Amino acid sequence: MKKYNGYLIDLDGTMYRGNEVIKEAPAFIKDLKARGIPYLFLTNNSSKTQDQVTDKLNKLGVEAHPEEVFTSSMATAKYLKQTSPNARCYVIGEVGLMEALHREGIHITDQEDCDAVVVGIDRNITYEKLAKACIAVRNGAAFFSTNSDNALPTERGLLPGNGAFTSVIAVSTGKQPTYIGKPEAIIVKEALTVLGTEVDDTILVGDNYNTDIRAGIQAGMDTLMVFTGVTPLEQLETLPIKPTYYINNLSEWTL
């Protein structure tokens, strides 16, 4: 196994499952820290702030600090700053997205007369918010979405994710957004600029082939798949492009 100088680490299914820690996760993070290997927790969750994600990890016994967390909202804000720094953005989303956009100095407007529409999960979504977004996109506003996750695993079962809300605007306007989160390469590239490591000596660790592993593949990064989350070992045979490595759980990995 090659030695990697940087790690991008998925959360749900890799560090915890819902509100339960994955047994091997705390020791894996301790080991990275002890060896001084830089890493980021990489999550498609757009609703939470770095502090909120950190709190959850610490409560579950995984040592974490806010600067080690990189969300699809942060990637979206950084991408907007680079590609459309002066855009006035109409935003659908929760505190995690709003905070990330503010930090990058993105101009937020509540007017449908805007330059860009940015969509993250919003558990208080209304018809009026979708109406404004649709009018703006039809009038030529650029269209961004933090991630394309259609369903979110919860204790109640699978609930609608941001991809489902985004699809309302996409279907109604006939325009597709630029998605930022996994499986897109954009979030991986933005994370690398924060981590400060090169794509060739960084590895992406995750449980979900369709988001984590595909993001790594699309970004040209090596991948480590763990079978502690959504994609079962039996599915490996059917995958078109295999992950670089796969293990049952993180205790089988040597840093």
Binding region for Mg ion (CB under 5 A): 10, 12-13, 207-208, 229
Closest separation between CB of residue 192 and Mg ion, Å?
19
Angle, in degrees to the nearest 10, between helices 185-195 and 72-83:
90
Question: What's the Cα-to-Cα distance from 102 to each of 72, 147, 206, rounded to whole Å?
Answer: 15, 19, 29
Q: Select 177 or 183, whichever has its Cβ closest to Mg ion.
A: 183
Closest separation between CB of residue 135 and Mg ion, Å?
35
CA-based angle 165:158:154, to the nearest 5? 110
Closest separation between CB of residue 157 and Mg ion, Å?
17
Place of tokens 């330059």: 115
Q: Select 10 or 112, whichever has its Cβ closest to Mg ion.
A: 10
**Distance, CA of 68 to CA of 26 (rounded, Å):** 15
The full DSSP string for 81-149 is: HHH-TT-EEEEE--HHHHHHHHHTT-EEES-SS-SEEEE---TT--HHHHHHHHHHHHTT-EEEES---
Q: Select 229 or 243, whichever has its Cβ closest to Mg ion.
A: 229
Q: Does the active-site annotation cover 110? A: no
Closest separation between CB of residue 230 and Mg ion, Å?
6
Q: Select 29 or 116, whichever has its Cβ closest to Mg ion.
A: 29
Amino acid at 13: G
Closest separation between CB of residue 86 and Mg ion, Å?
35
Q: Select 12 or 99, whichever has its Cβ closest to Mg ion.
A: 12
Closest CA to 53 of 6, 99, 107: 99
Place of tokens 């929760």: 94
Closest separation between CB of residue 167 and Mg ion, Å?
21
Q: Which of 12, 122, 149, 212 is catalytic?
A: 12
Q: Does the active-site annotation cover 10? A: yes
Residue with the CB atom nearest Mg ion in the bound state: 13
Q: Select 42 or 137, whichever has its Cβ closest to Mg ion.
A: 42
Active site members: 10, 12
